[in-house]
Amino acid sequence: MGRETKMFHRRDTRAVRVGDLTIGGSNEVIMQSMCTTKTADVKATVAEILRLEEAGCQLVRVTVNNKEAAEAIKEIKKQIHIPLVSDIHFDHRLALAAIENGIDKVRINPGNIGRREKVEAVVKACKERGIPIRIGVNAGSLENHLLEKYGYPTPEAMVESALFHINILEELDFHDIIVSLKASDVPMAIAAYSQAAKAFNYPLHLGITEAGTLFTGAVKSAAGIGTLLNMGIGNTLRISLSADPVEEIKVARELLKTFGLITNAATLVSCPTCGRLDIDLFSIANEVEDYIAKIKVPIKVSVLGCAVNGPGEAREADIGIAGARGEGMLFRYGEMIRKVPEAELLAELKKEIDIIVASYEQT
């Protein structure tokens, strides 16, 4: 069986309910994403959310930037299966409308809402329905009083901004709070989240904002969020990419797997190839990656170009192949089970994967 590496994860945060999920405490790190559609376009928004759900997304955010968007929440909620978050800036009436229409969580910064009675109205509505609030600090939009104090965005200024908004909610005896401290500068985000983890115990939503395209965004997010996860910090995360949001979930899932924070997922090990290679390994590895993406048991599959490292690596995997000229060897739990012609290698590997998955499902 593949070795399981369960890493330490910070458990001393408050547990906050979001619909039927709990973020923080000893709960798993939740993967979330955000729709790219116009929220008022219910059909397109629901279609995107259903694709995200299928990819493993557990929580999804939509922008609520006008009355039509707030109104659409009612219908969207009926057609999806995961909790829905509304992203609101400044306008407390949109927050109240989103809450009225069944939203599960509101992302709004109380310090930006305006007059006290407006903040109180939002907090009261959230309290009545058990809806949490995410405070979203962003290095690019810090409050003026902090920019005056610090001169420019710093991790300290970001944490102070979070505490400024937290204090407003705490004064109103509201504690169902989740906090993000996003920056596109990775070291700044790491420092801000690290300091925040010491400053308060509300769950942290991790993200590197404006991270870039699929390639650059995945690298930057993995560097920043990965560092934090490795420190045991983070209760939910969003990978921000200029790409199909389904890609955000794929990256999030891979990142959590890397740190042993998803135990019910299959992992692929594949070699980089070299001059010893005699089979078309890249396409096999890509196909296997797609094939195992939806498997919900912790198996390790290895796809190696040749037998030089094959048997050794395969011993670490539940099932694997090592290529040879025009054929490949199938390994199960480190033992070679048979040789297969190259043309049948992929199909045979898939069959063996299915057998192992079925044996997990029977136990």
What residue numbers does the annotated binding site for [4Fe-4S] cluster cover? 271, 274, 306, 313
- How far apart are CB 22 and ligand SF4 at their closest, in Å? 43
Find out whether 297 and 263 touch, Cβ atoms under 8 Å: no
- How far apart are CB 267 and ligand SF4 at their closest, in Å? 17
Identify the residue among 11, 149, 276, 338 touching ligand SF4 (CB under 6 A). Answer: 276
Find out whether 15 and 24 touch, Cβ atoms under 8 Å: yes
**317 scored as a contact of ligand SF4 (CB under 6 A):** no
Identify the residue among 71, 170, 273, 316 touching ligand SF4 (CB under 6 A). Answer: 273
Cα-to-chain-centroid distance, residue 74: 25
Nearest to 259 by CA among 332, 206, 310: 206
Greatest alpha-carbon pair distance for the chain in Å reads: 75
Q: Which is nearer to ligand SF4, 256 or 288 (CB)?
A: 288
Using the Cα atoms of residue 66, residue 72, residue 77 and residue 79 in order, give the sign of their dihedral: negative
Nearest to 300 by CA among 278, 276, 327, 319: 319
Q: Which is nearer to ligand SF4, 294 or 315 (CB)?
A: 315
**274 scored as a contact of ligand SF4 (CB under 6 A):** yes
Identify the residue among 309, 316, 348, 360 touching ligand SF4 (CB under 6 A). Answer: 309
Find out whether 345 and 328 touch, Cβ atoms under 8 Å: yes
Number of residues this chain uses to bind ligand SF4 (CB under 6 A): 11
Identify the residue among 1, 308, 337, 355 touching ligand SF4 (CB under 6 A). Answer: 308
- How far apart are CB 358 and ligand SF4 at their closest, in Å? 28
Identify the residue among 163, 231, 277, 324 touching ligand SF4 (CB under 6 A). Answer: 277
**304 scored as a contact of ligand SF4 (CB under 6 A):** yes
Piece of the chain touching ligand SF4 by CB under 6 A; list 17-25, 134-142, 305-313, 328-336 = 305-313
Contacts of 25 (CB under 8 A, 6+ apart): 11, 13, 14, 15, 203
Q: At what angle do helices 245-258 and 214-230 cross, to 10 degrees?
A: 30
**312 scored as a contact of ligand SF4 (CB under 6 A):** no
Q: Which is nearer to ligand SF4, 24 or 310 (CB)?
A: 310
How many other β-carbons are positioned within 10 Å of the β-carbon of residue 357? 18
Binding residue ranges: 271, 274, 306, 313
**116 scored as a contact of ligand SF4 (CB under 6 A):** no
Pairing assessment for the beta strands 327-332 and 319-324 based on DSSP bridges: antiparallel
List the end-to-end C-alpha distance of the chain, in Å, as a whole number: 14
H/E run at residue 108: none
Rounded CA-CA distance 112/317 in Å is 52
Piece of the chain touching ligand SF4 by CB under 6 A; list 34-42, 109-117, 271-279, 335-343 = 271-279
Rounded CA-CA distance 332/313 in Å is 11
Residue-level length of the chain: 363
Q: Which is nearer to ligand SF4, 132 or 323 (CB)?
A: 323
Identify the residue among 224, 234, 298, 305 touching ligand SF4 (CB under 6 A). Answer: 305
Contact residues for ligand SF4, defined by CB under 6 A = 271-274, 276-277, 304-306, 308-309
